[in-house]
Structure 1
Amino acid sequence: MESSGDTGPLHSSPTPTSPPQPSATTVVLSPCAACKILRRRCVDRCVLAPYFPPSDPHKFATAHRVFGASNIIKLLQELPEEHRADAVSSMVYEAAARVRDPVYGSAGAICQLQRQVDGLKAQLARAQAELAAVRAHHAQLVALLCTVETMAASNSAAGQHDGTYCGEVVAGSGRRSQISGAAARGGVAPVDAHYVVDGIMQAGTVGTWADEPLWT
């Protein structure tokens, strides 16, 4: 006896798969160095957290050793936020100076720096005085050199003028000597001889004047 109905293969409906849920990550906030040293809970808006990070605990330890946590907190609360970073840097510097020098603290470091500044100012003043002296000496040398060059130029010009005049005089004397020699050889009086008439020097021929009678 055959079965009245054929049973086909059974197909199971696919089960919808849910997307993987992201694993919940736990964010652990590390307390600031101040709260860690003070062993207290670091709140969300801790006044010390922005200036004393957990990576630099020595910074708060130095300031806390000299000023104390309560004084640091009170000072930061009294200041506006734009001046708090400078105040923390000043407190840390002063505390470190007090640790190095318990007697004078930062005042001793300031006095030492002031002495160094005074010494450098004195050295600068000496250097400026030496520079001024060197410049004055250089100006004197330049003026002296200019004077010597001017005198040498004037002496050279005067020497050239005197040499020209002396050469003319010597040349004139030579010509007169030649004329006198020629006149002596030829028996003729020199043409450029001078004689005095009524106290005035006159130029003329000596031979002609000598041949004329003195009284007529």
Structure 2
Amino acid sequence: MEKSEPNTAAATTAVSPCAACKILRRRCRENCELGPYFPPTEPLKFTIAHRIFGASNIIKLLQDLPKSQREDAVNSMVYEASARIRDPIYGCAGSIFQLQRQINDLQGELAKAQAEILKMQCQQANLMTLICKELAQMPQPPMYDHQSLNDNYNIASPQSYHSSSYLFEDSNILEPLWT
């Protein structure tokens, strides 16, 4: 039995055409300029860019750029094209203008909030100053030492409790409370 060599055409797998070639209905070559940037899984990406820029302009632009910058250029074209579809007059500039307006509005709100915080801090400081002034103007209660209180009210000191007979006139009270 002789071994036959496999057919080279049958051995190669069928490669799906890139999204650009599929939409343009042309044969996708092995070294297709658009293939790496418009994979077959993302046909909408090419459709959007093609609608605004056209296939020949996209190819010319990519050929003029170094390979390291082509991916970013395709992403920029798709972004600009989708912005042009949403806003045909201003495109990306309209989006940028809208975002700048939002930034300005938010900065204004932030400035108002910071001013309100500063106002409240000043009010708090003024309130604390008023409270301190009121406390300083209030009469202070007199400070008594313990000896003068004992003398004025005839309060016996703890040492005199044992020797004072007037506290315990009944001798039965001195009995222990437990049995």
Could you say which TM-score interval applies, normalised by the shorter chain?
0.5 to 0.7
Structure 1 stretches of 4+ moved >6 Å: 21-24
Question: Offset at 1:146?
Answer: 2.5
Gaps of 5+ in 2: 145-179
Per-residue displacement from partner, 1:120-167 (whole Å, max 9, x unpaired)? Answer: 111111111111111111122222223333333xx316xx38x9xxxx
- For CA contacts below 8 A with separation 6 or more, give which structure has more relative contact order: 2
Q: Give the counterpart letter for 2:140 in structure 1.
A: S
Quick check: which has more Rg, 1 or 2?
A: 1
Q: 2:140 is matched with which residue: 137, 156, 162?
A: 156
Query: Are positions 1:90 and 2:72 aligned together?
Result: no
Query: Are positions 1:135 and 2:121 aligned together?
Result: yes
Which has a greater percent of strand? Answer: 1
In 1, Cα distance between equivalents of 2:81 and 2:23 = 17
Specify the alignment match of 2:130 in structure 1.
144
In 1, Cα distance between equivalents of 2:34 and 2:27 = 12
Specify the alignment match of 1:77 in structure 2.
63
Report % sequence identity.
Answer: 55
Q: Give the counterpart letter for 2:60 in structure 1.
A: K
Q: Give the counterpart letter for 2:91 in structure 1.
A: G
Aligned-CA RMSD value: 3.0
Q: Give the counterpart letter for 2:19 in structure 1.
A: A
Specify the alignment match of 2:18 in structure 1.
32
TM-score by length of 2: 0.67
Number of residues of Structure 1 aligned to a counterpart in Structure 2: 144
Specify the alignment match of 1:45 in structure 2.
31
TM-score by length of 1: 0.57
